[in-house]
A and B are shown apart, each in its own frame.
Chain A
Amino acid sequence: MSVADSDNTLGGDVAAPPVSDTPLAGGYWADLRADTPGLIGVICLGTLFFIAVFAPFLAPYDPAAQDIISRLQPPVWMAGGSWEHLLGTDHLGRDVLSRLLHGSRISLFVGFATVLLAGTFGVLLGLISGYAGGRTDQWITAIIDTQVAFPGLLLALLILAVIGPSMTTVIVVLALNGWMVYARMTRSVVLGLRQTAFVEAAELLGCRTGRILIRHLLPNLAAPLLTLGTLEFARIVLAEAALSFLGLGVQPPATSWGLDVAQGKDYMFRAWWLVTIPGLAIAFTVLAINLIASWLRVTTDPVEREKRYARRFGAAG
């Protein structure tokens, strides 16, 4: 049989330009090392996570310990600063550095938990909506539209006023305000994928709906979801800070960056570092995440990846 032994050479896909559609040949790590901004982002975020996990061991003081006598001390490099309090103290004499380290825990945890909760809920609804179509789709789309139209802050105020602020409530409130993006994106991607032949093939093979959603559709959503999730993470960190700033987020004696900014605002002109230092921490985190997101966007898109490679190679040689 001439056909059987004909084409034994694999990898001969010579259509130009050849573009692969699996993640990466050398793995994400190898790709990351070649992308400096992305690498910086990952290192920064990794450091932040390290700090968040080991905050109790790293922090020189109890973040809640007050010491009225040494209140409003400036950071060490300013006149009147001391090595005892590297980044100075706040209006109650609490160590700013310790509060910063501990605050990272809540900020990052809230970000993570919210993205996970909102993502799961949104993706699930988006999958169902996009795949089922018809009435179901109309209803879910209507819910999404209503939720988008409803002012997020008002909803947050309502819920927080009724239930009372706590970290769990903050997460739930932020997730309630954020799931629509995932649902919409998932729905639009699924609407496209539903028409493709491999989904039809799965249906005609006798796959049940659940399997099609989980095995066939979800993996093809991984790349855009990863990018979206990363960007949302940055947004959530800011949103938590905003809620805490308004006094509706994390409640003292717990600490978060947003809360620190809020409490420091009254002393803005006498002790600028109380607002600036946690503010910088927030900006720094968001920047790191955005660097990672833009790297992920390029890396998960085969066409963009090839272009980036060619550009770099063309510049070098």
Chain B
Amino acid sequence: MSEPLLTVEGLEVEFLTRRGRVQAVRNVSFGLGPGQALGLVGESGCGKSVTSQAIMGLVQLPGRIVGGDVRWKGRSLIGPDAADYRREVCGRDIAMVFQDPMTSLDPLFAVGDQIAEVLVRHRGLSQAAARARAIELLDMVHISEPQKRVDQFPHEFSGGMRQRVLIAMALASEPELLIADEPTTALDVTVQASLLDLIAELQQRLSLAVLMITHDLGVVAKLCRDVAVMYAGEIVEDGPASRMLHTPSHPYTAGLVAATPTLALTRHRLETIDGQPPDLRLPRTQCSFRPRCANATEICSVAPDLLPLGDGKGRLACHNPVKTQARAAIASDAVHEAHTASFDAPLLSVNNLSVHYPIGRHGLFGRRDVLKAVDDVSFDIRPGETLGLVGESGSGKTTTGRAVLRAVPVTSGSIVFDGQEITVLGREPLRRLRRDMQIIFQDPYSSLNPRMTVQDIVAEPLIVHGLETEPGRLRDRVAHLLELVGLPADAAERHPHAFSGGQRQRVGIARALTLEPRFIIADEPVSALDVSIRAQVVNLMQDLQSQLGLTYLFIAHDLAVVRHIADRVAIMKSGKIIEIGPVEDIYSSPSQAYTRALLEAVPEIADNAYGVTGSNGAPSSLDAPVV
């Protein structure tokens, strides 16, 4: 191994809160050599982002670094004495790309000026030279017509293009290390794929070291040669990606690998890691993974140290490592019996549905422009069936779901639910319809009113429909529903903020079930959740379906998850359904090129474990700006 560029040694970061000291990063050590790509993997709250912030000197109150050291080429970056060196290094030698490309660019300045600013400040270039270099950089990140686009403003770029601009900006100062904090999480799969290719290519070409922070093992598999897995603020295992992703030793790593959905398997239950991460306010005495670990024994009450593995292939902090291969374990889990797509009459039948939005007109008397959000869409869903509706952002999948709920105005077409045409329903019949049709939202954080208790949230549908008003019986109903979705009974009295993302999503599911609907539209119900929690919620939805005979319209951008839950799948693009059919057929032999592109873009663990996916030409055509 070459001399390390970046050394993190015994890093400790804590957050001072009124509810106690949260030890967000506990004794984290790793090194990164020139040109290396390290994936820092973990679920939300495991301290991976805080670690990167600590490296960049971005930890702010209420957080503070309480121990350890971060060294850049042997010199410390931590502490007041190092302030000058840190200012010199961070931003110039170490550059960072953030998750959200929508808010990371200043909307008031042309992208070229924003890149040039970095060049003028860090490289001392003149304005003219900086502009020329900005054009070069835009070209390097594969933005077509850079001469023209250099003067455009951020709103004229799509999400993927903005992330490219941000990468160009990060590269402007010719850094030696690029820290990428979930750079592709907010983007569509095809855009994600092209960006990962770009990062891999730049890494090769500029022999750039990359610290990739992500929760997605597929992303790591595509890009990184080494992986470090963090859990509860600690690194529990690290080593080469080839070993980590295929024969992981730590039970948590193995659980993560197993819980990651794959395109290869259909409708089997996803492996879950039961339980929740530990409370980081408590002192670390036992192994932090012990409460969730299947291998736990008596010895695990003593926290294991992170020790080098015998064969020199990384480090491991575990007393009872996993022996078998993670993937093999699943295969025995038998394929869930496919739902009998019976000859029943469809519960929901959508015919030639269109939703158009006016988006201004040409001149005062000119032609009115319309955005065809949903354009002549037809599909049926039979009782007890799950239809997956897959598409990228802007494809109209969410609008289709909202139109079926009559939450957006329908331009034309018919929606027949249970033999009844619902596009013509008035206000009161529509309210009655809500009892049969419910929705599960994407974001478990914003979909629950922070000022209401779980009891009030779950009971509300009964109250507004006047079905139950007696407080005692309401409490019983809520208790029953909470039990059904696997929440403890004392959850009822709490406010949503007391729960984790997965638990909040369970509350959202309980609310959707309160009125005992027959049909549920699930709008990306798991895309905001962590991998292991995602598996729990998908399994819960499947269990509820078989218990209660529910019918789902499952909207998602994630082809792998859809494969696990859906009977049939419809692919949407630009407002149209371009392909629809049974899951097996679509995944094994897609008839449309677009479907194939979508399938290929899904980053999978099984992909090349050594990173560096082949050549990359022009950006994907899918990367064009949206509307």
A interface list, Cβ under 8 A from B: 1-22, 25, 196-198, 200-208, 211, 215-216, 219-220, 222, 305-307, 309-311, 313-314
Asked if B494 is at the interface of the complex by the 8 Å CB criterion, the answer is yes
Main secondary structure of the interface of B (DSSP, over half): loop
Beta-carbon contact of A306 and B18 below 8 Å: yes
The answer for the CA separation of A2 and B116 in the assembled complex, in Å, is 55
The answer for the CA separation of A18 and B63 in the assembled complex, in Å, is 11
In addition to A6-B272, A309-B18, 10 A-B residue pairs with Cβ atoms within 8 Å of each other are A1-B543, A3-B539, A16-B280, A21-B450, A197-B446, A201-B511, A202-B449, A211-B464, A220-B451, A309-B16
Asked if B279 is at the interface of the complex by the 8 Å CB criterion, the answer is yes
Q: Which stretch of B182-190, B299-307, B434-442, B576-584 is in the interface?
A: B434-442
Given contacts A16-B15, A306-B17, contact A200 B407 (CB under 8 A): yes
Chain A neighbourhood of B18, CB < 8 A: 25, 305-306, 309
- A226 to chain B minimum Cβ distance, whole angstroms, is 14
Asked if B204 is at the interface of the complex by the 8 Å CB criterion, the answer is no
Asked if B591 is at the interface of the complex by the 8 Å CB criterion, the answer is no
B interface list, Cβ under 8 A from A: 15-19, 22, 24, 44-45, 47, 50, 61-64, 232, 272, 274-280, 291, 405, 407, 431, 434-435, 438-439, 441-443, 446-452, 460-461, 464-465, 483, 486, 488, 490-491, 494-495, 497-500, 502-503, 508, 511, 515, 536, 539-540, 543
Which of A14, A205, A309 touches B62 (beta carbons < 8 Å)? A309
Chain B neighbourhood of A4, CB < 8 A: 483, 486
Beta-carbon contact of A310 and B15 below 8 Å: yes
Given contacts A7-B503, A206-B461, A306-B62, contact A22 B44 (CB under 8 A): no
Beta-carbon contact of A220 and B449 below 8 Å: yes
The answer for the CA separation of A285 and B498 in the assembled complex, in Å, is 39
Which of B16, B272, B405, B442 touches A313 (beta carbons < 8 Å)? B16
Beta-carbon contact of A205 and B536 below 8 Å: no
Which of A7, A19, A21, A307 touches B486 (beta carbons < 8 Å)? A7
Beta-carbon contact of B434 and A204 below 8 Å: yes
Chain B neighbourhood of A306, CB < 8 A: 16-18, 62
Beta-carbon contact of B441 and A197 below 8 Å: yes
Beta-carbon contact of B279 and A7 below 8 Å: no
Chain B neighbourhood of A5, CB < 8 A: 486
Chain A neighbourhood of B539, CB < 8 A: 2-3
Chain A neighbourhood of B488, CB < 8 A: 8, 10
- B336 to chain A minimum Cβ distance, whole angstroms, is 14
Q: Give the residue name and chain of the B residue nearest to A13 (CB).
A: B500
Which of A18, A200, A205 touches B464 (beta carbons < 8 Å)? A205
Beta-carbon contact of B44 and A198 below 8 Å: no
Beta-carbon contact of B449 and A206 below 8 Å: no
Q: Give the residue name and chain of the A residue nearest to B430 (CB).
A: A206
Beta-carbon contact of B434 and A206 below 8 Å: yes
Beta-carbon contact of B22 and A16 below 8 Å: yes
- A212 to chain B minimum Cβ distance, whole angstroms, is 10
User: Would you list 7 pairs from A and B whose C-beta atoms are within 8 A, ordered by A residue?
Assistant: A12-B276, A13-B500, A14-B22, A17-B24, A204-B407, A306-B17, A314-B64
Q: Give the residue name and chain of the B residue nearest to A198 (CB).
A: B449
Beta-carbon contact of A7 and B274 below 8 Å: yes
Q: Give the residue name and chain of the A residue nearest to B535 (CB).
A: A3
Given contacts A16-B45, A204-B438, contact A197 B443 (CB under 8 A): yes
